[in-house]
Amino acid sequence: MRYQALLTGAASVAFLNTVDATPYDPRLVKALALANRALPANAPHGYTPQTVTCPSARPTIRSAAGGLSPNETAWLELRRNATIEPMRDLLSRMNITGLDTDTYINNHMSNASALPNIGISLSGGGYRAMLNGAGVVEAFDNRTSNSTGTGQLGGLLQASTYLSALSGGNWMVGSLYTNNFTSVSAILAQDTADSDSGSLWQLGNSIFEGPDTGGIQLLDSVGYYSSLLDAVDGKNNAGFTTSITDYWGRALSYQLVNATDGGPAYTWSSIAEQEWFTSGSTPLPLLVSDGRKPGETLVPTNTTVFTFSPWELGTFDPSVYGFAPLRYVGTNFSDGSPIDNERCVEGFDNVGFVMGTSSSLFNSVLTVVNGTDTTGLLSSALQSALVGVLSDIGEDNDDIADYVNPFYGYHNGSNPYAVSKQLTLVDGGEDDQNIALHPLIQPVRHVDVIFAVDSSADTTTSYPTNSSGANWPDGASLVATYERSLDAIGNGTVFPAVPDTNSFINLGLNNKPTFFGCDASNLTGPSPIIVYLPNAPYVYNSNTSTYDMSYNDTERNAMILNGYNGATQGNGTLDSQWPTCVGCAILSRSLNRTGTTVPDVCTQCFDRYCWNGTTDSRTPGNYQPEMKLTALSVTSGAGRLSQSAVALSLGLVVAAYAAL
């Protein structure tokens, strides 16, 4: 059974054993899958950015008026063509009666832009989002064992052009790309290797404790904290402003980057130099973060949304409307050019710092600490002291990710960040858009369908927070993106109408897949179909708190398996026609573009899965979703940290930082 294979981490071994007749040693699996990583482009300097001579072609800020970057435009020609064969294989297994998908692709493959342009977007939500998103991506990955059988969705990842994420979802995406675009199954297969297996996704110890020693990690907890302090000290001593996010990103890297000390020299921009990426063999990873002006604690819904690609950091929002070359972020720019034409900075875009930027929730911790301490772990005196420490850091604006502002003096009339030499960024979901849809709904990207994976913790309950009713999505992320598209900050983006959050719950739209925007003629402009995949209990109650910071391997694998079952609808047991309907959603905009008659089976699918405009805005009762399939029996980890314990641990780190 696939359940057992995943829970024991054997899925990748089983897959590799099907490639040829020679059995694979699990240690070879690890070596093949995880050996190569994004380049340690800042070696031997580690985490400390370096001032270097600028290249002869001076880096400048690119106006968004030019559309996509030349890098992305050139890469897209390779990528769109590379998606054709995986798409052909995928659609051939989806039983779309009335349409010969092989002939359809043959008729249009000379113009790949006529074929479906697919995006996958993952939400935030801490490790819950990371693991649920991992399960969905594993289901979409043709490298996963048994994922290319009849009715399976393996290959959807390989057929996609874009993979976007924020906050906890960006840990999953960032980890795959930082580790040579490895697979989820390959990461889980570490458990079958010897005791010196890699360190990826070993979540039993929280980042406040540090990794177990052994394998590639050599530090005990004292050495771990010393390493974090030394790395950030080096950056600070080199003249760069540091913040709590530097520590956060460095700590995350020990779990997400398969390199000693979490790969302090690895950079996000170096992904653009890897052959597996430059050849167009993988989707384009896009990570999302929100701008936060100095002095703000709450991020407004109309804040500027920034996107990291391997080439650039920037935004299509009209406030800034520009992009900086990511490799040289850290350079002092003014009005679009380096202040000193001869001196540039490299190595600022450390992979952990970029992933940490999209998940900087430190200003939100104040809310947790100020809440009622139901566990009794925090005395009132300690709680007051911790609030004071965190408040001081907030006032100093150190609870954000601090960048040398490449947009200083740029577009002064509209850019609220133009007056500051620091660009301060926070968690990409703090503007309530907790699914990383923003970069994929930009008209210049022409995305046809987005698989929107929502792992948000929106629902509450009068029962204890570990009950089955809390921490499930209620559609609020889609509502926020829709409402923002109607505002001037939306800048011409079009997003399908969605109901209010009460209707999401009352109509059950937050508990099953739903399509939005099926009828393109009802939209005010080009917009993708949204295939909404909300986190729900399929085989495991995956509604853990965002502040749960440790998971044993069995819990981790059960969370991933639950996401897998959500993506496949229990391998088709909940709806045998689900794969067909996924295929119809993928093809819909392409069929419209090419004037192809929509098959009757697709019309049936749209009747079943498309939101029909009905609302029910009554206040819902307590939300208690039922398990959809046979529940797994999983033992919780004894090391699970409560919200108060997280706040306490974080407070100790903060106090150490404040004392520097």
- The full DSSP string for 513-557 is -EEE---GGGSSS--PEEEEEE---SSS-----TT-----HHHHH
> What average pLDDT does range 38-57 have in this prediction?
91
Nearest to 9 by CA among 26, 28, 23, 25: 26
Question: Are the beta carbons of 343 and 54 closer than 8 angstroms?
Answer: yes
Report whether pLDDT(191) > 70.
no
Question: Are the beta carbons of 365 and 439 closer than 8 angstroms?
Answer: no
SS3 422: strand
Q: Is 406 left (phi over 0), alpha (psi -120 to 50) or beta?
A: alpha
The 10s digit of each residue's pLDDT in 401-429 is 999 999 999 999 999 999 999 999 999 99
Dihedral sign computed on CA atoms, order 384, 386, 388, 391: negative
The 10s digit of each residue's pLDDT in 546-601 is 888 889 999 999 999 999 999 999 999 999 999 999 999 999 999 999 999 999 99
For residue 29, the model assigns a pLDDT of 39
Residues 298 and 650: their CA atoms lie apart, in Å, by 20
Q: Name the pLDDT band for 141 (thresholds 50, 70, 90).
A: very high
Global confidence as pTM? 0.89
Could you give phi then psi for residue 163, rounded to 5 degrees?
-135, 110
Residues 101 and 403: their CA atoms lie apart, in Å, by 48
Q: Residue 119 belongs to what H/E stretch? A: strand 118-122
Architecture of domain 25-658: 3-Layer(aba) Sandwich (3.40)
Report whether pLDDT(30) > 50.
no
Could you give phi then psi for residue 307, rounded to 5 degrees?
-125, 135
SS3 364: helix
Report whether pLDDT(41) > 50.
yes
Which amino acid belongs to residue 452? A
Report whether pLDDT(27) > 80.
no
Share of the chain above pLDDT 90, in %: 68
Which amino acid belongs to residue 167? S
Residues 82 and 77: their CA atoms lie apart, in Å, by 9
Q: What is the DSSP letter of 487?
A: S
The residue among 525 and 26 whose pLDDT is bigger is 525
Residues 306 and 324: their CA atoms lie apart, in Å, by 11
Question: Are the beta carbons of 449 and 120 closer than 8 angstroms?
Answer: no
> What average pLDDT does range 429-445 have in this prediction?
96
> What average pLDDT does range 94-101 have in this prediction?
97
Residues 655 and 454: their CA atoms lie apart, in Å, by 34
Report whether pLDDT(162) > 90.
yes
Residues 578 and 570: their CA atoms lie apart, in Å, by 10
Three-state SS annotation for 342-355: CEEEECCCEHHHHH
Cis, peptide link before residue 70, omega less than 30° from 0: no
For residue 207, the model assigns a pLDDT of 80
For residue 225, the model assigns a pLDDT of 77
**Which long-range contacts does 100-104 make (Cβ < 8 Å, 24+ apart)?**
101/583, 101/587, 104/587, 104/596
Question: Are the beta carbons of 200 and 179 closer than 8 angstroms?
Answer: yes
For residue 523, the model assigns a pLDDT of 82
Report whether pLDDT(647) > 80.
no
Report whether pLDDT(400) > 90.
no
Question: Are the beta carbons of 636 and 545 closer than 8 angstroms?
Answer: no
Provide the token pair at 419. Answer: 């007056």
SS3 650: helix
Q: Name the pLDDT band for 392 (thresholds 50, 70, 90).
A: low
Q: Which of 13-17, 34-38, 275-279, 410-414 has the lowest mean pLDDT?
A: 13-17
Provide the token pair at 229. Answer: 């302090």
Q: Residue 200 belongs to what H/E stretch? A: none
Which amino acid belongs to residue 504? F
Strand 333-334 with 162-166, pairing: unpaired
- Where do we find the tokens 């969705």? 153
For residue 277, the model assigns a pLDDT of 97
Please provide the DSSP assignment of 153-165 as one string: -TTTTTT-SEEEE
Residues 56 and 142: their CA atoms lie apart, in Å, by 42
Residues 430 and 372: their CA atoms lie apart, in Å, by 22
Q: In the chain, count H helices and then E strands.
A: 21, 16
Question: Are the beta carbons of 568 and 93 closer than 8 angstroms?
Answer: no
Q: Angle at the Cα of 513 (from 299 to 518), degrees rounded to 5?
A: 85
Provide the token pair at 324. Answer: 């900086």
For residue 334, the model assigns a pLDDT of 97
> Which residues 6+ apart lie within 8 Å of 196 measured at CB?
214, 215, 216
Report whether pLDDT(131) > 70.
yes
Residues 600 and 606: their CA atoms lie apart, in Å, by 10
Q: Name the pLDDT band for 460 (thresholds 50, 70, 90).
A: confident
The 10s digit of each residue's pLDDT in 330-373 is 999 999 999 988 899 999 999 999 999 998 765 455 445 455 44
Give the CA radius of gyration of the chain: 23
Q: Name the pLDDT band for 26 (thresholds 50, 70, 90).
A: very low
**Which of 35-44, 403-412, 459-468 has maximum average pLDDT?**
403-412
For residue 260, the model assigns a pLDDT of 87
Give me the torsion for CA of 235, 239, 243, 246, rounded to 10°.
-20
Strand 162-166 with 118-122, pairing: parallel
SS3 309: coil
Q: Name the pLDDT band for 196 (thresholds 50, 70, 90).
A: very low
Which amino acid belongs to residue 177? Y
Q: Residue 313 belongs to what H/E stretch? A: strand 312-315
